[in-house]
Chains A and B, each alone.
Chain A
Amino acid sequence: MLDRKRLHLRAAFFRFIRSFFDHHGFLEVDTPIRQPVYIPESNITPLKSEKEYLQTSPELCMKRLLAAGHSKIFQICHCFRKEEKGRLHLEEFQMLEWYRNGADYYQLMVDCEMLLRFLLINLLELQAEKNFAATSFFSGINLDHTWERLSVADAFARYSPVHLDQALREGQFDEILVEYIEPYLGTVAPVFLYDYPVELGSLARKKADRPTLAERFELYINGIELANGFSELTDADEQRARFNLEIAAIKANTGGDVLMPERFLSDLQQLDTAAGIAMGLDRLFMVIINDQRIADAVTFSPEDFR
């Protein structure tokens, strides 16, 4: 259970996030946590709730709202991912997602920089106001330092023992990323790792000039991944084809059947260009207050029920 100081900081953290988006003209929305369909992604498994599912992300509903014509929306909600338990993972966690109609992933990187600087300034003020013992937020990482944008291919060239193409061919992409690359990302200033192989971003738009890449990025601080953003894939036919690949992979792994999110695909036809991002808030709060385990940054963790 969180101590008094952390509980106050956490409440302020959520308050500042809301005021940031309010100030920038975003509409706060809320969508059902429990839904009859889930996003077919082979590496993310939902928790069942009777005959429905607890959301792994509000992404589909958020994009249906964009398709209905809303231009800037955000949501803070609980998400659930089965069997994701570890130092940096909780099966239930708080997610922040924001979406911009008519924008691409570069705009989201700018948003990230502004949001995190805004949080830092306000948390420092609050700390002084409340006379909390000084905490070095973000373990002293200088947010004003230029945030590097590093392509996935360049990151492999810089840190990996094998070339990106070879890692993909041999199915070693995730292992190499975790083992050789992530520990070096965002240790001086935050880093955006961007332009992922297209097969690793099933809802992201392909780059117009390099169709083997998707316009997707991840934000890293201190080797920890905090957010995943991309230019949205808005071609409903291509989205259906990519979902079919994911559904086939889920069937091969689990033997289970997965419903195609038809209402989402039909609404997607109304969407032109858009960009959206998901940020894990418990993990971000952990990084801000320099805790080592996500379980130490949430009000109650599973350990508090043992």
Chain B
Amino acid sequence: MLTASDLRKGLKVQIDGNPYIVTDFEFSKPGKGQALYRTKMRNMITGNQLVKTYRSNDKFEKAELEERKMQFLYSQGDEFHFMDTENFEQLVLTREQLGDNTHFLIDNMELDVVFYNNLPIDVTLPIFVNLAVTKADPWAKGDTSGNDTKPVTVQTGYELQVPPFVEEGDKIQIDTRTGEYVTRVKE
């Protein structure tokens, strides 16, 4: 059993027979009052949001999830196709189910698909992915504005802040847990 003090972003819990992932979480405690854990969660099957406030003594069950190694094949509109690398069975996840994970999916990428009661519901991405920069403003040398980052777009359409020396066509490594730039990679 988990208690409210175990709550953190990314934790997967089971509520009324449904798996939820914690998407946002804030600890608050009015003076002399009780600890309150204000939590936003996403139903991992329906994608519905759940906003709830818990107290220290509230208990949770960990969601019983199973992961299988798969390959991401391609996306078509809001459907994302995956293939089991052992038995070649294919399955589809929707954009809604994948949430922000779609920012980091590239064709033929290997990852884990998450199952709940044998239903595919989500993916677990590798921690680091390398993506190509498709749009970046050129770096004006001698720029004295003091900005130490600039926005770029990568091949999946995801936008992020990077150091000014990153250029269009570069490959950059991104931490999928935070969505932040890690380093430029040479291939």
Instruction: Name A's B-contacting residues (CB within 8 A).
Output: 41, 43-44, 83-89, 173-175, 177-179, 182, 196, 200-202, 218, 225, 228, 253
Known A179-B53, A253-B57: A87·B27 in contact at CB below 8 Å: yes
Contacts of A44 in B (CB 8 A): 32
Closest residue of B by beta carbon distance from A175 = B53
Contacts of B27 in A (CB 8 A): 84-87, 89
Tell me the complex Cα distance, A87–B28, Å.
Answer: 8
- Is B28 a contact of A178 with CB atoms below 8 Å? yes
Tell me the complex Cα distance, A85–B27, Å.
Answer: 7
12 contacts between A and B (CB under 8 A): A41-B32, A43-B32, A44-B32, A85-B27, A88-B28, A174-B30, A178-B36, A178-B53, A196-B32, A200-B32, A201-B32, A218-B30
Known A174-B36, A225-B31: A83·B26 in contact at CB below 8 Å: no
- Is B56 a contact of A87 with CB atoms below 8 Å? no
Closest residue of A by beta carbon distance from B5 = A83
What size tier do the contact residues of chain B reach?
10 to 19
Partner of A83 from B31, B32, B56, B57 at Cβ < 8 Å: B56
Tell me the complex Cα distance, A136–B31, Å.
Answer: 27
Tell me the complex Cα distance, A173–B29, Å.
Answer: 12
Contacts of A196 in B (CB 8 A): 32
Tell me the complex Cα distance, A228–B35, Å.
Answer: 16
**How distant is A23 from chain B, measured CB to nearest CB, in Å?**
28
**How distant is B29 from chain A, measured CB to nearest CB, in Å?**
6
Known A84-B27, A84-B29, A225-B30: A175·B36 in contact at CB below 8 Å: yes
Contacts of A85 in B (CB 8 A): 27
Tell me the complex Cα distance, A225–B56, Å.
Answer: 20
- Is B5 a contact of A174 with CB atoms below 8 Å? no
Contacts of A253 in B (CB 8 A): 57
Known A85-B27, A86-B28, A89-B27: A174·B57 in contact at CB below 8 Å: no
B33 within 8 A of A: yes
B34 within 8 A of A: yes
**How distant is A242 from chain B, measured CB to nearest CB, in Å?**
12
Which 3 A-B pairs have CB atoms at the shortest separation, nearest pair first? A86-B27, A174-B33, A228-B31
Contacts of B56 in A (CB 8 A): 83
B38 within 8 A of A: yes
- Is A228 a contact of B32 with CB atoms below 8 Å? yes
Interface members, chain B 30-56 (any A CB < 8 Å): 30-36, 38, 53, 56
Partner of A173 from B5, B28, B33, B57 at Cβ < 8 Å: B33
Tell me the complex Cα distance, A228–B36, Å.
Answer: 19
Known A175-B53, A253-B57: A89·B31 in contact at CB below 8 Å: no
Contacts of B5 in A (CB 8 A): 83
Name 11 extra pairs, CB < 8 A, besides A43-B32, A178-B38.
A85-B27, A87-B27, A88-B28, A174-B33, A175-B53, A177-B30, A179-B53, A182-B30, A225-B30, A225-B31, A253-B57
Contacts of A202 in B (CB 8 A): 32
Contacts of B36 in A (CB 8 A): 174-175, 178
Interface members, chain B 100-118 (any A CB < 8 Å): none
Tell me the complex Cα distance, A88–B27, Å.
Answer: 8
- Is B33 a contact of A200 with CB atoms below 8 Å? yes
**How distant is A214 from chain B, measured CB to nearest CB, in Å?**
10
Contacts of A201 in B (CB 8 A): 32
Contacts of B53 in A (CB 8 A): 175, 178-179
Which residue among A83, A182, A196, A218 has the maximum number of chain B CB atoms within 10 Å of its CB? A83
Tell me the complex Cα distance, A232–B30, Å.
Answer: 20
**How distant is A79 from chain B, measured CB to nearest CB, in Å?**
13
Tell me the complex Cα distance, A144–B26, Å.
Answer: 32
- Is A89 a contact of B33 with CB atoms below 8 Å? no
